[in-house]
Amino acid sequence: MTLIPLKLGLIGFPLGHSLSPQLHHGALKAMDLPGEYRLYPIAPLPEGQWALTTLIERLRNGELAGLNVTIPHKPNVLALLDDMTPLVRRTGSANTLFTHGGRLIGDTTDVPGFLADLESWLPPEQAAGKKALVLGAGGSARAVVVALQERGWRITLAARRYTQAEELAASLGGSFRILTLEADQLAKSSDTSLIGNTTPVGMFPKEGYCPWPEELPLPEGAAVYDLIYNPAETTLLRWAREMGLPARNGMGMLVEQAALSLERWSGRVVPRAAMWEAVQ
């Protein structure tokens, strides 16, 4: 039987740093599935509105089999969908688009992708603590907070702009402590068992920066999870390891969310090992 090639891709801007093609091509090869995964750089709205709408229509009419979505278009695609999963409604963003019964559906694999990688790695002592400090209050923070809420974590939000953290907390419900990213504020979170960095601070090409104040030691006994994967070791992770703290970058989350997307499109179990090999 001849298999129809899966035509897949990623919407976002910019996309020069993306590892998604390597991940998906590695998995498709290991699964012996024909297909391609392309990058579709589309400018932020309003400039990119026509290009975004046109590309979404190619998915709707069957020319494409599936699309991933990244910054800045995760919330922008919602208005173009026919339906969305409950997780998309809660997080306000979609990173995986597919069709079902002629309808265009939006899903997010960010939440389960983060949880799967976190829980496969998090040492038992930190996992038992259930106190998380989330740095940032943007889209990535929302996915991480929703994931941690599902597992019953007590969450403190720390953002450069206090009002942004307040808005995130209000939109998600629950009880949050809110801080700013300043040493005197972060010192109040010394009892945290997990620090999750969702800010872009420290990402290539500005590797030397860190969202954590240099003059403040990281909390003793905390595990540090940085969603950044380029570079593989951010300044935050290096500081954590120098203190002897468990530390992990975001590559595992990237692999897991990509695998979950491909499982949605292909209907098959995706070999994570093939994805890891493709990006090592």
Residues 116, 104 share a domain: no
pLDDT, one tens digit per residue, over 44-76 is 999 999 999 999 999 999 999 999 999 999 999
Residues 122, 99 share a domain: no
User: Is position 29 annotated as part of the catalytic site?
Assistant: no
The shares of helix, strand and coil residues in the chain, as percent rounded to the nearest 5, are 40, 20, 40
Q: Alpha helices of the chain — where are they, by DSSP H?
A: 20-31, 49-60, 86-91, 110-121, 124-129, 139-150, 162-172, 183-186, 235-242, 251-266, 272-279
In a domain, 123, yes or no: yes
Residues 117, 248 share a domain: yes
Q: Rounded to an integer, what is the distance from CA 200 to the centroid of its chain?
A: 12
* CATH at 79: 3.40.50.10860
In a domain, 278, yes or no: no
Cβ contacts of 191 within 8 Å, gap of 6 or more: 131, 219
If you average pLDDT over residues 15-25, what whole number do you get? 94
Name the active-site residue from 7, 29, 74, 131. 74
Residues 116, 95 share a domain: no
Residue 71 tokens, joined: 């910054």
Range of the structural domain that residue 174 is part of: 112-252
Residues 37, 86 share a domain: yes
CA dihedral 151, 226, 164, 72 (to 10 degrees): -100
If you average pLDDT over residues 242-264, what whole number do you get? 98
pLDDT tier at 164, thresholds 50, 70, 90: very high
Predicted local distance difference test score (pLDDT) of residue 174: 81
Residues 121, 245 share a domain: yes
Residue 231 tokens, joined: 């570079």
pLDDT tier at 17, thresholds 50, 70, 90: confident
In a domain, 129, yes or no: yes
Task: Return the higher-pLDDT residue of 278 and 16.
Answer: 278
If you average pLDDT over residues 96-108, what whole number do you get? 96
Q: By C-alpha distance, which of 67, 104, 108 is closest to 87?
A: 108
| Count of the separate structural domains present in the chain | 2
Residues 81, 35 share a domain: yes
This model's pTM is above 0.75: yes
Cα distances (angstroms) measured from residue 3 to each of 34, 61, 97, 263, 271: 7, 19, 21, 16, 19
CB 8 within 8 A of CB 37: yes
Predicted local distance difference test score (pLDDT) of residue 235: 97
If you average pLDDT over residues 169-186, what whole number do you get? 94
Residues 92, 192 share a domain: no
pLDDT, one tens digit per residue, over 194-209 is 999 999 999 988 898 9
If you average pLDDT over residues 146-166, what whole number do you get? 96
d(CA 96, CA 258): 9
d(CA 34, CA 6): 6
For 225, the 3-state DSSP assignment is strand
In a domain, 18, yes or no: yes
d(CA 90, CA 74): 13
